[in-house]
Structure 1
Amino acid sequence: MANTTSAKKATRKIARRTAVNKTRRTRVRGYIRKVEEAIASGDQEVAAAALKAAQPEMMRAAGKGVFHSNTVARKMSRLSRRVKAISA
């Protein structure tokens, strides 16, 4: 357990940030799940709309440091490629 006052404060700050980051991570995963479900249903319009809604959330999470920016870029690239493949 933390001994100094500053260490105790740091522990409290870490706990708050962890809660916020966990919420953001869960939110992004939910958006990704919606895109994947739309892809599975085979409806390109719904999938494209879901992807368009998911992109800002994913970029926001990358900007806040919840996910690495390369991870988000990779996921968006793969999802958009799968959405485009539906019409083919």
Structure 2
Amino acid sequence: MPNIKSAIKRTKIIAKKTAANKMQKSKIRTLLKKTGSAVADSAENAGDLSRQAQTVLDKAAAKGFLHKNTAARKKSKLAKALASSQKS
């Protein structure tokens, strides 16, 4: 437990940022799972969900939440799955 005033403040700030990051990460994971299941089931809204997921990934990469290569890899994986589901 910190005793110094600035350390106490930093602890509070870290807790807020951790909560915000968890929320953002959860949002991304949930959207990717929804998109993946929609693509696997060949649902009609798979294209819309895919576009929405790509937008969220781009924004996360732009803000520095995700590394740009990580976002690109996830987008590429989604696009590949969507293309293969539409082909068959």
Partner of 1:49: 48
Q: TM-score, normalised by structure 2?
A: 0.87
Query: Per residue, is there more helix in 1 or in 2?
Result: 1
Q: How much has 1:83 moved relative to structure 2?
A: 0.3
Unaligned runs of at least 5 residues, structure 2: none
Aligned residues: 87
- Where in structure 1 do 4 or more consecutive aligned residues deviate above 3 Å? none
Using the size of structure 1 for normalisation, the TM-score is 0.87
Q: Does 1:22 align with 2:30?
A: no
For 1:63, give the aligned amino acid: A
Aligned-pair CA distance for 1:66: 2.8
Distance 1:65 1:18 in 2: 15
Counterparts of 1:35 and 1:46, CA distance in 2: 9
Which secondary structure state, in structure 2, belongs to the residue aligned with residue 12 of structure 1? helix
Looking at structure 1, the residues matched to 20 and 63 of structure 2 have their Cα atoms a distance apart, in angstroms, of: 10
Asked whether the equivalents of residues 55 and 76 of structure 1 are also in contact (C-alpha less than 8 Å), the reply is: yes
* Aligned-pair Cα RMSD in Å: 1.4
